[in-house]
Structure 1
């Protein structure tokens, strides 16, 4: 495993967000389209993996941790403007979250 410097880590804008909407993507069985709320009127579309394990409606309302400053990427006709962080267990994502109510958009350091 390679290492990064603290300066590299500090470039990441990691924040708390809430999944506010989801929908299936026609013809795709492993990803869904989601919308997240980062607070302060900052809502973004994202691609969410794990559709083979989770129904879109089951993850609405979940508080998650995202990288907010990742370069946008277009997949399946959807531009993803953040990345949800998850533990990966046998290709199944387990979304990283917080254990208490934290304001949306709060930075992770």
Structure 2
């Protein structure tokens, strides 16, 4: 068990967790662990994101994947790219395994 403190339900409820699809990816010059991605959250909401795990996945391997993202995370700029969401993943020995859904779920659907 980790040493992380509990989070209140009110704090959790502030997170906008949604279904998205990775539309495009590209390497970032000089970076071996991150790539630039473009995700679709439905309703014409497309965003640039930074995707970790580039040492394990080729950029083209991620295109078309349906993933789970935190859509209202404060933007962060890395390697000249502003990331406007965060993909959620299980972390196994520092390798990300992207969280997804089993069935066709409309893009932008809320995770609660």
Which band: TM-score by shorter chain?
over 0.9
Q: 2:11 aligns to what SS in structure 1?
A: helix
Q: TM-score, length-normalised on structure 1?
A: 1.00
**How far 1:40 moved relative to its partner?**
0.1
Q: What's 1:55 paired with?
A: 58
Q: What's 1:106 paired with?
A: 109
Query: Alignment partner for residue 82 of structure 2, among 79, 84, 88?
Result: 79
Query: Alignment partner for residue 2 of structure 1, among 1, 5, 18?
Result: 5
Report 1:6-85 matches (<5 A). 6-85=9-88
Query: Aligned pair count?
Result: 109
**How far 1:5 moved relative to its partner?**
0.5
**How far 1:44 moved relative to its partner?**
0.0
Structure 1, unpaired ranges of 5+: none
**How far 1:29 moved relative to its partner?**
0.1
Structure 2, unpaired ranges of 5+: none
